[in-house]
Structure 1
Amino acid sequence: MNSIAIVSSQAASLVNFRGPLLRALSDKGLEVLALAPDYDIEMRSSVEALGAKPVDYGLSRTGINPLRDFFDCFRLFFLLRRLRPDVVLTYFIKPVIFGTLAAWLARIPRRFAMIEGLGFVYTDSGDKISLKRAILRVAVSVLYRFALARVSGVFFLNNDDANEFVRKRLVWPEKARCLGGIGVDLLEWAAAPVVKCPVTFLLVARLLREKGVIEYIEAARRVKSMYPETRFLLLGSSDTNPGNLPLADVEAWVAEGVVEWPGHVAVRPWMEQASVFVLPSYREGVPRSTQEAMAMARPVITTNVPGCRETVVDGENGFLVPVRDVGALAEKMLFFVERPEFIGRMGVKSRLMAEARFDVHEVNKRLMIFMGIQ
């Protein structure tokens, strides 16, 4: 094996989420081709510093335009046929579907896909599903089934997602592998000192309804009505996802004094200010933000749903609450406000869990073994 192509829909994710993998593959002596549609000078330099070669290709990350998507697929086919990698690894929904099909057409011998979460299409928002969303779900399922029939293996981050894809016959069970999270660098995300005064809660997420942002704000209102000094931080930016929340709403919450919102910023300095990490998401793969919080020895409050529940042993390193239950979320926040001695105790448990389960170097070793890279 001489080369591997990793196909993404975002250049930044190659650095932020796949950086250690790019480095590990390069250290194996492989030519690592990092494909993305949105490189800028900074991202190109960062990828090169990891030992990989940035490669541009065309792809619309979001939106539904079948003609554009299939045109992009054929352009990617010609590109892969010219590059001739021995292995292709795709992640994010469009690269998984159209990147896999392009690699199959180009007769790349070993093709792998990573499903990091079910995303907007399959996540239950609690509302009645719209006709448009129902049609989209059917269309995506058909495309997934066709594409994933042409892979050597599919990596999932949690067993619930793997089982759902198998149950829906989107992937054969013998092709499914569970990674248990993409992992974090435990040295980079070292344990930070405990913060007890004021007790500070942090949510890191794109500004999407499905991330539980509204529930976080409502719970914050209840807690601040009783303990006004408590801080609530929200990190994240707007998105083109259909579940995106209007920026005007976020700005109104800030003006109300419920939450502090610095926008899309580096996470670690803000995690250092936090006492407890909160993610009231409706569904995840295994959230990277929660893994970072655990590595920094932060207790976690999250929902008892696929992906999120993989990060918490209820009552040990944090709490699991029912999805979309503002009352339960506020209750667990109040637990830490009124019993701050548990912040440090549970934070230590989080760090130990991160060391045991979310070391990115161990995760990447398993990933490379699955792909036959020794």
Structure 2
Amino acid sequence: MSVRAHIIHAVTTSVSVKLMRGQLAYLRSKGVDLTVLSSPGEELVAVATQEGVSYKEIAMQREISPIRDLISLCRLIVFFAQKKPLLTNVGTPKAGFLCGIAAWMTRVPNRIYTLRGLRLETSTGLKRAILLLTEKIACAVAHKVICVSPSLQARAVSEGLVPLQKTIVLAGGSSNGVDTSRFATANIEKHTDLLQRHNIPPDAQVIGFVGRLTKDKGIVELVEAYQALKNEFPHVYLLLVGNYENGDPIPDEVKTVIKRDTGIILSGFVRDVVPYYTIMDVFVIPSYREGFCNVAIEAAAAGKPVITTNATGAVDTVLDGVTGYIVPVKSSEETRKAIRTLLCNPELGKEMGQAGRRRALNEFASPVIWDALYQLYGELINRR
């Protein structure tokens, strides 16, 4: 960049600030004067402090709340008018909408919307119509829309949210890449202490999942596939790393199965998931929708074969038949078949895992994504 740019990154909740970890410090090292903005929360303060950037707390509601949304918009307009940023990069649905409008109203000269996924894909009726409208507005007030995967880019264009020429995918995809240093060879050797902690026998075959335990993550289909495999593979276990969420809950009967089946291990929230990847033989994420499935790339970086679906954002993370398998959305039978193939052929699983690791390190390492983002900032700022 030809000038020391003041840039604002904004997301709705402080939890989402973690999506920019490492990226903020990288941009600061390049001379960018950066402020990260979100609703109040300890994650915002912790990440901003760790990365050495400024932060601003402005409350924003995740769900629709007309009065509170208007108050948030007014506060954002005042803040942007005071700071006069040269560029804004806003993401997540509510911040993309409110911060995008605030940046447009205060005439920020370079406005980016980072599209990390489309909630409207699994929504219906009035809720879908509202989400469609807000996404269209967020895209309309931006100069450039970063789509975190090629399939998300195609879906956004097909939904009429944004013209193709206004979109960009950074390198191979994702908004922040994968911190490959966490998956150095020494770190991805099997952590046998975890097997003991969760009473999993050393000779067990472990099917793994990492993420929110919700319906749209395909938990119902994953549990069904596991149950169908139990009789054929007596030493198979299903390891679920994550917590239940109230939004889009899985059926109570499936929760009961998870609770009662001694072969299903529910770890709850885990701060460092890398050791858990090491004890998995197969990683499965049968999601209905994604923006970009980061955990699939993390599992690949850990050398695991990955099974995912042909859903938006998930389909980009696996080379079918090379680094794992892609199955149809909501198909427990096809998921079962894919898992069975890998359980029956552990050498094939190792080959796919090695291919996936090479791809993750070459195409999705964080510095590759950060550099592409920095180059985009420079192009926009210098052009204007």
- TM-score (normalizing by structure 2): 0.88
Alpha-carbon spacing, 1:167–1:335, altered in 2? closer, same or farther (3 Å): closer
Q: What is the aligned counterpart of 1:187 among 163, 181, 188? A: 181
Q: Partner letter of residue 265 of structure 1? A: V
Q: Which moved more, 1:180-189 or 1:89-98?
A: 180-189
Distance in 2 between residues matched to 1:168 and 1:54, nearest whole Å: 34
Aligned to 1:57: 58
Distance in 1 between residues matched to 2:44 and 2:155, nearest whole Å: 35
* Shift, 1:23, TM fit: 1.0
Distance in 2 between residues matched to 1:247 and 1:97, nearest whole Å: 34
- Contact persistence 1:58–1:76 (CA under 8 A): no
Aligned to 2:100: 100
Aligned to 2:220: 214
Aligned to 1:153: 144
Alpha-carbon spacing, 1:142–1:347, altered in 2? closer, same or farther (3 Å): same
Moved over 4 A (4+): 246-249
* Shift, 1:248, TM fit: 8.2
- Contact persistence 1:194–1:275 (CA under 8 A): no
Distance in 1 between residues matched to 2:143 and 2:371, nearest whole Å: 18
Aligned to 1:294: 300
Aligned to 1:71: 71
Aligned to 1:18: 20
- TM-score (normalizing by structure 1): 0.90
Q: Any idea what SS the aligned residue of 2:289 has?
A: coil
Q: Does 1:8 align with 2:7?
A: no
Q: What is the aligned counterpart of 1:260 among 262, 265, 273? A: 265
* Shift, 1:24, TM fit: 1.0
Distance in 2 between residues matched to 1:92 and 1:252, nearest whole Å: 33
* Shift, 1:82, TM fit: 2.0
RMSD: 2.1
- Contact persistence 1:234–1:259 (CA under 8 A): yes
Cα deviation 1:134-162 (Å, max 9, x = unaligned): 21222222222223222110000223322
Q: Which moved more, 1:66-75 or 1:23-32?
A: 66-75
Alpha-carbon spacing, 1:102–1:244, altered in 2? closer, same or farther (3 Å): farther
Distance in 2 between residues matched to 1:90 and 1:96, nearest whole Å: 5
Q: Which moved more, 1:142-151 or 1:268-277?
A: 142-151
Gaps of at least 5 residues in structure 2 are: 192-201
Distance in 2 between residues matched to 1:223 and 1:147, nearest whole Å: 45
Gaps of at least 5 residues in structure 1 are: 124-128
Identity rate of aligned residues, in percent? 26
Distance in 2 between residues matched to 1:257 and 1:313, nearest whole Å: 33
* Shift, 1:240, TM fit: 4.7
How many residue pairs are counted as aligned between the two chains? Answer: 361
Alpha-carbon spacing, 1:167–1:323, altered in 2? closer, same or farther (3 Å): closer
Q: Any idea what SS the aligned residue of 2:131 has?
A: helix
Aligned to 1:122: 121
Cα deviation 1:81-134 (Å, max 9, x = unaligned): 222222111111111111100111122211101111112x223xxxxx7xxx32
- Listed as ranges, the matches of 1:165-180 within 5 Å are 165-179=156-170, 180=173
Q: What is the aligned counterpart of 1:28 among 27, 30, 33? A: 30
- Contact persistence 2:7–2:85 (CA under 8 A): yes
* Shift, 1:237, TM fit: 2.1
